[in-house]
Amino acid sequence: MHKYAWSPFGGGAHKCIGMYFAGMQVKTILHQVLQRYRWSVPARYEWPLDTTSLPSPKDGLPVRLDRL
């Protein structure tokens, strides 16, 4: 299998410029959310990790957002 067979933004010298745009969008949105909300998880919460394909929480990750 080619090393770039599954790479969402390509690789090597011909990477998609959208990769950098997508990264900036994520940082901008996260910055806005963190300025406006306080986030928390239940006390003594342990992350039940599912690693069958990509690491993700089995329980949906119970995060609480409270507006500041």
| Residue 48 contacts residue 57 (beta carbons within 8 Å) | yes
Domain assignments of the chain as residue spans, ordered by start? 15-37+64-68
Q: Average pLDDT, stretch 54-65?
A: 82
Per-residue pLDDT tens over the stretch 19-50: 788 889 999 999 999 999 999 999 998 888 77
Confidence label for 4 from pLDDT (cuts 50, 70 and 90) = low
| Residue 26 contacts residue 17 (beta carbons within 8 Å) | no
Please give the mean pLDDT across all residues of the chain.
83
